[in-house]
Amino acid sequence: MAVTRWIPDEAVKILAEAGEVRVSSADRPLSVAELREFTAGASAIVGMLHDRIDGEVADAAGPQLKVVANVAVGYDNVDVPALAERGVVVTNTPGVLTEATADLTFGLILALTRRLGEGERLIRAREPWSFHLGFLLGSGLQGKTLGVVGLGQIGRAVARRALAFGMRIVYTGRKPAPSEVESALAAEFVPLPELLERADVVSLHCPLTAATRHLIDADALRAMKPGAYLVNTTRGPVVDEAALSDALEAGEIAGAALDVFEREPSVEERLLEREDVVLTPHLGSATVETRTEMAVLAARNVVSVLAGNGPLTEVQA
Ligand code: 8YV
């Protein structure tokens, strides 16, 4: 079993009960060549978002490879059809990171609309400041509209938080959510153009696919209200970062918060300069509890597949 980067001990112990485990000691993503070399001969690969796991990696690993367990709910880094062709099962970690990711999303919404990053930077820069009634005014959430793009588990968890903050929910996706979900959230299904026109905060929770790459492009940004905010905690390439910088420069939207980036870990230079942008380094699921649960679920998937009992949370090709 080959684990491409550090995972919590709890998960290593589970894997070790099923056989020999090697964990990459490099404190960085493995290069394509290193990944192939490191996984050669493995029956299972435990990988994560920076590992591009495709048919060639599987071929280099060899015919004994049975399972690729991605420690993430997103699996755009894995070529699932190519692995299915080779009889390799792919698993992800849905469910266990829903609340942590929704918490981070709401933290970003608050940081953005209440200008917390700007305030923090100002104090740390030892700038003189004093309270006055017009100082660093943000935008309230009460009575505003949250537009959720992708009302899956994470989108729903964000919508629940938004309801508690007195927001209205509109959402879009490939199809409407079940009616009980809609009514619990008082959520209205609308096409994307209408969501962009109506939402005060647009929050992205769709997976990255060919259909969602650059879903938020120059036209989409132009369709948003000038006072609206964009939040991305899914995958960077869902947003065209250059178009986002242009839109912010042109005053087409009020601000953006990004936890994920188009060319991670690089960030569009112009965004780094802006006060109306909040940036965090892919922290959606970054709590001790959640990362442990994710790794443990990945390990359990591996053990279950290798024991012939099938995967627990399989990704369908
Ligand atoms: C992971 C994520 O931490 O689950 C996902 O899809 O983006 C994060 O929760 C990250 O992908 C590391 O593998």
The pLDDT tens digits for 231-265 are 999 999 999 999 999 999 999 999 999 999 999 99
Task: Give me the residues of the chain with pLDDT under 70, please.
Answer: none
| CB-count exposure of residue 70 (10 Å: 0-12, 13-18, 19+) | buried
Q: What's the pLDDT at 317?
A: 85
**Ligand 1 atom at minimum distance from 290 CA:** 9
Neighbouring C-beta atoms of residue 269, cutoff 10 Å: 9
Atom nearest to 92 CA in ligand 1: 4
Residues assigned a catalytic role? 235, 264, 282
For 213, half-sphere exposure in the C-beta direction (CA atoms, 13 angstrom radius) is 5
Residue closest via CA to ligand 1's atom 1 equals 72
- CB of 49 closer than 6 angstroms to any ligand 1 atom: yes
Q: How confident is the model at residue 40, as a pLDDT?
A: 98
Strand partners, 224: none
Residue 189: per-residue pLDDT: 98
Domain 98-279: CATH architecture, name and number where available: 3-Layer(aba) Sandwich (3.40)
Q: Does 157 sit in the ligand 1 pocket, CB within 6 Å?
A: no
- Global confidence as pTM: 0.96
Question: CATH assignment of 2-96+287-306?
Answer: 3.40.50.720
**Beta strands at 168-172 and 187-189: parallel, antiparallel or unpaired:** parallel
Domain with CATH 3.40.50.720 in the chain: 2-96+287-306, 98-279
pLDDT tens for each residue of 277-293: 999 999 999 999 999 99
Mutate to test the pocket of ligand 1, among 24, 51, 73 (most ligand atoms within 8 A of CB): 73
* Per-residue pLDDT tens over the stretch 73-95: 999 999 999 999 999 999 999 99
